[in-house]
Amino acid sequence: MADDAAYQTPDSSNKTNGDKIYHDPKVSIPDNDTNKNENENISKTNIPNEVITNTDRLNPQLDSAMGTNFKKHLFMLRYAKSDDRLNLEWHFGDRKFVFGQTMLLASIGNNKLHMFSHELDLTRDNSAAMYGCTCLRDYCEDFFNECNKYVADSLKISTNKPNGIKQIIRMSGLVPINKQNFRLPNISTKNFTNVIMSEFTKHLRDVISSLAEDERNSFRDGMATLICIQLLSQTFKKSNPNPLELFLNASIQPERLEIIKRLLNFIKNIKGDRNIPESIWFELLVLDSSDNLIKTIPMEIVSFEVYLRCAAKVVPALAQHSDFINRLSPHFDDVITQNQFSIDLKNITFLLSFLRNQSSDDANPDLKTIRSIIDSSIPLRNKIKEYMSKLDVTINEFNSIRDIFILSIESSVLFHVNRKEFLLKLLTNDKNLRSVDFYIQWFLAFMTPDKNKPSMFDDDEFKELLKVWTTCVAHRPDLIVKIIKEINVLISAIGDHPCSSHFIEHMVDLCFQLKSIIEKIEQSVLLVQSPKFLNEFKLKYKTNVLNAYQNSLKELTNPINPLRLLMHIDVQTKYQNAFLRELIEMACEDIKIDDEEILQDLFYKPDSQSFTCFVLFHSSFRTVHIRQYIIDRLLTQSISWEDIGMRWDELLAWRNYTNQQRVVANKVWALIREVSSKQFEIDKLINTENDKMQEKLKIIEIIPSCLDIYCSNAPDKQDYKDLLQNIANSFTEKIVRTVAIPNEIDQFVPIAKRLHPYSKSTVWHLFRQQPLTLLPSATDTNVKETPDPITCHGLLTQADKTFDLFAAQLNDTCTNWKTLSVSSWIHLFPDKRYIDYDLGILEPLLDAVVTPILKQILDFWTGRENLMCLCQGIVSLLTYLKVPIDDETHLLFDSIEQLDKTKTGDDFYKVCENFSKNYSNKYLPQILNLIGRYKASDELITFLHSLAATDADNLLEAVNDWDETLISTKTVLDLVLIKTFLD
């Protein structure tokens, strides 16, 4: 249902008062009186005959019934009930048009309005009762459609156009338009308006001059309606000039202010100012009287931009009045006080930009006046302060606030807003809920300058804000890590700010205040690209971290060692971060490492966990200077070893490596060989040096032994031993190559090398101790008589010659063993305990084929007594068992008994082989030993054989009664056991 306001009667100011309207002045128009008897009202109505007379005169052929029908239409329309009027309107519509066109021609020639004005008058006065909002709006459109069809064409054939134009304009002022039924003009309305306004412009002077005093109100209403329609439809183009331009014509000046007043009211009543271009609206305002100009500046809620554009148009028109500033300034303050301005960041920014842009003030002093009024407005300052104090700022608004603060530097508008306090409040409120993006964007917006936005703060303010900013994030390490990751953006944004160095130092200090930052630099600092920040970080890292661990940086097993942490991070980042390498290099700069430590860790006791080994092989050190230093020192050492030689302890260390140390050492020297210009083979070098050392050590070892054995009583023995000890001592102090064997010792070397292998041979020493005259005659012919030696040289020479005799006798024995008697053998090996031992030592002097034979014969000779017991035991056992002995056995046993020293080796060997064949190789040694004991226990065995079985039992029964001192129970038991075995 339509709003009740839609049915309200238009303001009385819109009615034509005093104009001559074509209706009976005696007839009063009732106000919504629809309850009176229709016949009574009709009988009291007197329709002027002049209407009919004019109609009949202009068109005598017009059927009188048409006039009668139109009269009825008017009466019925006026007095019909509200719900019937629309139907009546449609009922008479087909006849109204023809009649209306005729009546227009009748009215053009006189000063009375067209008959349409009766309908308009009725419609306007009874709009609330006749129609709803929609119906009335449709009616207005229908009216202009009819005018476009009939009125414009009628005007074309008129002979008195100025009068016709005047009447049409007056009639247009009666159209019942208000804000409820208004909508933008349609095509018919636009066309009708353009035609009438075009004709009016052509005949403006005549039309104005023809106006009677009682016609001016209706004329002004009509002009307001038509001009408004043109402004709203924006149809004025080159062919249709701006309708406001006609107010520049001198002829219309007497009517200008009244028309403008009604036009402004009309536009405001229909809310049409929103649809009129702003530039046209401002032109319209300026056409108003100077007294009304300030009042026409918008008082509804608008932006500063709209207000200032309006003021810029109004002020020049007011400038001719001396007190206009006193009027405009309170007006502006009133607008502020009444909250008519839309106070927000955008409008504040626009306002400050307007106040700052003073470049055109000299050419346009009116703008300077406007700026002065705004800048000095106390209500504006208070209103902005109130707005800013309540503003809940978001990240997206940071730049707008920054622009406002920068623009306000040369203005007093933000006089009551303290920038620093505002930003501190913004920074510290809800700091536990702020995101890292908030703090970064806050910094970028308010702490960083650029070419268009200088810094808002002096150095002290900057430092204070920076301190608070970092305090807000310092208690949240996760935020610090993320901010450091974005520090490149902040440093780039701060640029050449005077406090840029302070900012970098402050942020680096913040990193070192938080342990988590240093432990996780791969998540923060290592992502930074700013050289200034990284250089500052390096300096502080050295001062705050490395210096504290300067004496323990080599302890890479220490979990808190910063160098170890850097290596760990380097591994995690896959050795790709250049700045991390710089930190590692810097950490290694102050590490002192000498040649002794290098050799100790990599040569003497190779250790994969040593610092030097890590430096050589861990990828984190591949570019550091200390690694190259270690390699250079090892290269130098290898060259020294090749040129000069190695010491005894160095060779000994290499020889005594564990398997793990050997792996490390091989790896080290493989690296040196790889980086060396010459292929350094440490294995080959050490083997060569070791051979030389072993040769000299052997001399030192064998000569003292020879001196002790062969020169025990020589007076100069100790001198030679002291000399040898000095040589031995020099190995620990000198290079092996430089250890020389003096001639005094060197003369003993051949003899010592010859005698030393046999120095432990009993046979050799027994031979050496025998007088030469007791030696076998076979060797006497080769011995030359030598004076008794008294020196080591003489004694060793004599021993050497004696050894020649000893070797010759051994050789003779091996050569003629078959024919020589075993006495010579027995003479050489008198002690059977050392036969095997001596044969092993003398093996180089013996024939390998003869040595087993010799051993077998010697063993047979030394064990001949046991063999004879064995033979006797076999005979006794066979006799007891009553087994006959064959001749071969008798012959073997006889030959064993007949063996003596006069027998040849071949005789001995044959008997040995025969015995081995029949006994040694056939029976176990335990069996043969038992048989040998059989003969040795002949009396016991005879006694046991003589005992009857009952005697043995009696012995067992009586044994418990015997005195243990006479015979033990175990002895009796053993006797019984042996008897049982033998039986």
pLDDT, tens digit (0-9, with 9 covering 90-100), for 763-816: 888 888 877 544 444 444 444 445 445 889 889 999 999 999 988 888 888 888
Weakest mean pLDDT among 73-77, 159-163, 547-551, 648-652: 73-77
Asked whether the CA dihedral 132, 137, 140, 146 is positive or negative, the reply is negative
pLDDT tens readout for residues 89-114: 444 444 344 444 444 444 444 444 44
Higher pLDDT, 333 or 705: 705
The whole-number average pLDDT for the span 324-350 is 78
Q: Residue 679 pLDDT > 70, yes or no?
A: yes
**What's the CA dihedral at 51, 53, 58, 64 to 10 degrees?**
90
Confidence of residue 641 (pLDDT cuts 50, 70, 90): very high
b/e 730-756 (16+ beta carbons within 10 angstroms → b): bbeeebbbebebeeebeebbebbebbb
Angle at 68 between CA 65 and CA 69, to 5 degrees: 85
Predicted confidence (pLDDT) at residue 86 exceeds the cutoff of 70: no
Residue with more model confidence, 547 or 919: 547
Q: Which residues of 928-939 are buried (b: 16+ CB within 10 A; e: fewer)?
A: beebbebbeeee
- What is the tens place of the pLDDT at every residue in 483-516? 888 888 888 888 888 888 898 998 888 888 877 6
Residues 6+ apart with CB under 8 A from 604: 649, 650, 653
Distance separating the N- and C-terminal Cα atoms of the chain: 150
**Residue 375, helix vs strand vs coil:** helix
- Alpha carbons within 13 angstroms on the beta-carbon side of residue 749 total 14
Q: Can you spell out the DSSP letters for 911-973?
A: HHHHHIIIIITTS-HHHHHHHHHHHHTHHHHHHHHHS-HHHHHHHHHHGGGS-TTT--HHHHH
pTM: 0.54
pLDDT at 81 over 60: no
Backbone φ and ψ of 341, nearest 5°: -95, 145
How confident is the model over 571-587, as a mean pLDDT?
91
Helix, strand or coil, per DSSP, at residue 605: coil
Model pLDDT, residue 301:
54
Give the model confidence (pLDDT) of 835-856 as tens digits.
Answer: 788 888 888 888 888 888 888 7
Q: What is the structure's pLDDT at 274?
A: 61
- What is the average pLDDT value for the chain, to the nearest integer? 74
DSSP 552: T
Residue 76, both tokens: 């019925």
Range from 69-73, 135-139, 948-952 that averages highest in pLDDT: 948-952
With cut-offs at 50, 70 and 90, classify the pLDDT of residue 34. Answer: very low
Q: What is the three-class DSSP state of 821?
A: strand
* Structure-model confidence comparison of residues 324 and 681, the more confident one: 681
Answer whether residue 472 shows pLDDT above 70: yes
The average pLDDT across 884-906 equals 75
Q: In the structure encoding, which two tokens stand for residue 416, read together?
A: 């009551």
**Greatest mean pLDDT among 364-368, 454-458, 489-493:** 489-493
| Pick from 321-325, 337-341, 840-844: least confident | 321-325
How far apart CA 833 and CA 98 sit, in angstroms, is 169
Which residues are within 8 A (CB) of 696 and not within 5 positions of it... i.e. 6 or more apart? Answer: 727, 731, 736, 739, 741
The secondary structure of the chain in percent helix, strand, coil, rounded to multiples of 5, reads 70, 0, 30
Q: How does pLDDT run across 62-73, given as a tens digit for each residue?
A: 334 334 444 444
Give me the mean pLDDT over the 534-556 stretch. 90
Report the run of H or E that residue 833 belongs to, with start and end. Answer: none
In percent, the amount of the chain with pLDDT more than 90 equals: 11
Alpha helical stretches, state H, 150-251: 152-156, 161-172, 187-202, 204-210, 216-233
pLDDT at 50: 32
Across 308-321, average pLDDT: 65
Backbone dihedral angles phi then psi of residue 29, each to the nearest 5 degrees? -90, 110
The residue-averaged pLDDT of 872-880 equals 73
Residue 551's pLDDT is: 87
What distance lies between CA 883 and its chain's CA centroid? 106
- Using 50, 70 and 90 to split pLDDT, how confident is the model at 239? low
Least confident among 19-28, 122-131, 238-247, 377-386: 19-28
More confident residue, 456 or 127: 456
Tokens representing 79?
């007095």
